[in-house]
Structure 1
Amino acid sequence: MGLFHFRLPDVGEGVAEAEIVVWHVKPGDVIKEDQSLVDVMTDKATVDMTSPVDGKVLVIHGAVGDMRAVGSVIVELEVEGVGNVGADPVDLARAPESVPPPVVIAPPPVAAPEPQPARVSRPEKAAFTTRAAGGAPLAAPATRRRAYDLGIPLQFVPGTGPGGRITPQDLDTYIASGGANATGGDARYAVRERVNDTRIIGMRRKIAEKMQETKRRVPHIAYVEECDLTELEALRVDLNAHRKDGQPKLTLLPFFIRALVKVLPDFPQINARFDDDEGVLHEYAGVHVGIATQTPAGLVVPVIRHAETCDVYDIASELVRLSSAARDGKATRDELSGSTITITSLGPLGGIATTPIINHPEVAIVGPNKLVERPIVQGAFVTVRKMMNLSSSFDHRIVDGYDAALFVQAYRRVLEHPALLFMD
């Protein structure tokens, strides 16, 4: 029998380490070639690591959430033949039989519970007299002071004294019951002491690191504009009502992307990525639109590449494909990188306005909000129009406030006059 070391392979250009997301094996498992060993995450792509050999798992290195360097041993296998350890100078001194047995950590001794004093039964009292609804709680000054020091509102403490007076014993009973009503009543006011500790790993940790790095490096400027999308919404409804077989149903998002394609050639510094380490702004002719997509694992940004070559139906089909792949965890690394500008939309949950965080190293992000009907003054009349606030953020190192305003106004014009979407 031989010892085989499975090392973390290079999972992407420039990647030095990866995070362990899920282990599919444990020590003692007998596995076959191509069987899944572990899922690791780098950047925003999860990669399934499979075994190149048959064997028995002896040791796994790293817990879920740990970072492992490329080239480091993550699984040790017992295999038929000589394995690969003899060819590794680092492991020449180690023989297969020297693999340490699993360390079993005995649980700490549990101290026996201290004997509790026996409860002394007292004769039942007659039902106490409750205070009148809305009446001020009655209590002695010392009781009031103690309740104040403990942060307990006396109006929630039932009193058993004459006329509903709150006694020191009533306060003790209220505290001992965790804040529940001593009459067995309202649990809404119970004190909640539980604290849940959750280790932030996987996609959520990547998102946290990305957001923190972006806010640290990029000075944001936010801009919000109101758009009248009555005509655009009417066009969308009509196109959906008359779409041909095989054509996808249109949401507003394909129109937003198509509007970016029309406007960005006049604002090349916005369709760009800023390498702030080198001090170089890369302006792109092609429009590669990132679509912020919520998944069970967290927020990811699949990319529609060369949106300038697509009509609204092509964009809609690509949106369906990419969002499904992202939510199923099947999007590739290439599909999750390379965007030059991002759209983040909460759809019906869009609220009034947002201040989206830029997807660094991009320099701009656009955030459509909720589409609502509002009364609007047009000349001497008040009419109901379909309105939406359009939120946006820009890297203030690259985009001045004036240029940001010009861009948003040009974008608004195309959205409010949808015929411009189809004109050269």
Structure 2
Amino acid sequence: MARFTFRLPDIGEGIAEAEIVAWHVKVGDRVEEDQQVADMMTDKATVEMESPVSGTVVELAGEVGDQVPIGSALLVIETDAAEEAAPPPDPKAEEVEEQIEAETPGVEEILPGTGRGTIGEADGGGGAPQATPVEESPLHQPAAGPPPRAGEELEHRHVLASPAVRARARDLGIDLAQVKADGDRIRHADLDAYLRYGSGEGYHAPHASHAREDEPVKVIGMRRRIAENMAASKRHIPHFTYVEEIDVTALEDMRADLNANRGNRPKLTMLPFLIVAICRTIPVFPMINARYDDETGVVTRHGRVHLGMATQTDAGLMVPVIRDAQDRNVWQLAAEITRLAEAARTGKAKSEELSGSTLTVTSLGPLGGIATTPVINRPEVAIIGPNKIVERPVFRGDDIVRAKLMNLSISCDHRVVDGWDAASYVQAVKKLLETPVLLFAE
């Protein structure tokens, strides 16, 4: 029998470490070669780790949410191969692991008796011993007394309450024998109910509480990345938001006509039209389609529009990128939007499809609200957010007509984009959306 240490490989793009977002095996499990053992998340995407050998898992690197440096041990597998068959460890990775072991306490030091193998245990250790559950002896269980007889005085029944509850009742001058417990013992909530509803014959127990227990949720994986990115964006970028109302009545009529005659082409939403309008106006306002490097103080105004599309998934908010959006028509944009959204929601989006955006659009669709103040996708300098379309009466000359209106929000980096520029840009987009035939004019 031999032990094979599977070290986290270099997953590219200069990544120094990756986060464990899921284990698919546990200590003691049998794994086969090429079987998926863990999901690791980088700054760009989630990568599936597959076992290079067959055997039994004896050690794991850590818990979900832990960061593992590239080259460090991810898990140890006991194989049937001879000891010398295992490839020699990478000296640099060995150095990194030894430093980590010297500076980081093992799981046993933090949670004694967990029984889970951790990287750094002696080979013969086999993990910390499992704690043996001990059944509660009937001798340690409180004897169940006879039920109170009808008419028995309350003060004669045995009262169960914690010392803190007893002390509070004493301070309030409450006789615990007069308090009804919603359970096996009197708690602070029962004292509150007693004070709220009164004592004596006028007292009645409240209805059972519908409150749920507090639920601690560890911030890991995509949610951690979102938290870090949003915090960095708000910390480094002085945001300002401009909102404009747009009459999309004519555009919605055109969209309905195109959908009615689309044939086998994808159904059009508002988003492809908005993207065309965004791309048509960028050449006049190049400061909107830019990225700002804080460290060098350089703003790069991009000639191509690689449009980020904020997409809600079960794992959190992801931003797949529509490459060269300026060269696509509404039908091509609709197809690419559908493809990228599906890839993001199913976790199949590739790393290159989730990076490199120069400008981002974020839309909540029918839930868009009246106005939004979107957070910039750093290091970009602007983000655009269409809101929901509503029907309202408007004046056209002396007439009152029904119109479909939509607010359009834009948040900008005030270090790069002035308020006048942002307002002028949105006005240019508004002109195209309110006169939609211009979207198709060369």
Structure 2: give runs of 5+ residues left out of the alignment.
99-118, 154-172, 175-187
1:103 matched to 2:105? The reply is no
Counterpart in 2 of 1:316?
Answer: 334
Counterpart in 1 of 2:151?
Answer: 123
What does 1:340-359 correspond to in 2, within 5 Å?
A: 340-359=358-377
- The separation in 2 between residues aligned to 1:347 and 1:395, in whole angstroms, is 24
TM-aligned CA deviation for residue 121 of structure 1: 3.7
TM-aligned CA deviation for residue 200 of structure 1: 1.6
What does 1:198-237 correspond to in 2, within 5 Å?
A: 198-237=217-256
Counterpart contact for 1:3–1:83, Cα < 8 Å = no
Alpha-carbon distance change, 423 to 48 in structure 1, aligned in 2, over 3 angstroms? same
- The separation in 2 between residues aligned to 1:191 and 1:332, in whole angstroms, is 44
What does 1:3-402 correspond to in 2, within 5 Å?
A: 3-79=3-79, 80-81=81-82, 82-84=84-86, 86-88=88-90, 90=94, 98-106=123-131, 112=140, 120-123=148-151, 157=197, 166-168=198-200, 171=203, 174=205, 179-180=206-207, 190=209, 192=211, 194-245=213-264, 247-402=265-420
25-34 or 367-376, which deviates more: 25-34
Give the TM-score of the pair, scaled to structure 1.
0.82
TM-aligned CA deviation for residue 56 of structure 1: 2.5
Alpha-carbon distance change, 96 to 343 in structure 1, aligned in 2, over 3 angstroms? closer
Match of 1:407 among 416, 420, 425: 425
Query: Aligned AA for 1:56?
Result: T
- The separation in 1 between residues aligned to 2:383 and 2:120, in whole angstroms, is 56
Query: Aligned AA for 1:248?
Result: P
Aligned length: 381
Give the TM-score of the pair, scaled to structure 2.
0.79
Cα deviation code 1:159-211 (max 9, x no counterpart): xxxxxxx425755x53xxxx42xxxxxx5xx3737211111211111111111
Counterpart contact for 2:121–2:127, Cα < 8 Å = no
- The separation in 2 between residues aligned to 1:415 and 1:421, in whole angstroms, is 8
- The separation in 2 between residues aligned to 1:240 and 1:95, in whole angstroms, is 62
- Percent pairwise identity: 50
Alpha-carbon distance change, 119 to 192 in structure 1, aligned in 2, over 3 angstroms? farther
Counterpart contact for 1:363–1:394, Cα < 8 Å = yes
Alpha-carbon distance change, 241 to 167 in structure 1, aligned in 2, over 3 angstroms? same
Counterpart contact for 1:352–1:389, Cα < 8 Å = yes
TM-align CA RMSD: 3.0
- The separation in 2 between residues aligned to 1:258 and 1:267, in whole angstroms, is 15
TM-aligned CA deviation for residue 222 of structure 1: 0.7
TM-aligned CA deviation for residue 294 of structure 1: 0.7
277-286 or 100-109, which deviates more: 100-109
TM-aligned CA deviation for residue 276 of structure 1: 0.9
Structure 1: give runs of 5+ residues left out of the alignment.
126-141, 158-165, 181-186
Alpha-carbon distance change, 368 to 85 in structure 1, aligned in 2, over 3 angstroms? same
Counterpart in 2 of 1:132?
Answer: none
Counterpart contact for 1:18–1:67, Cα < 8 Å = yes
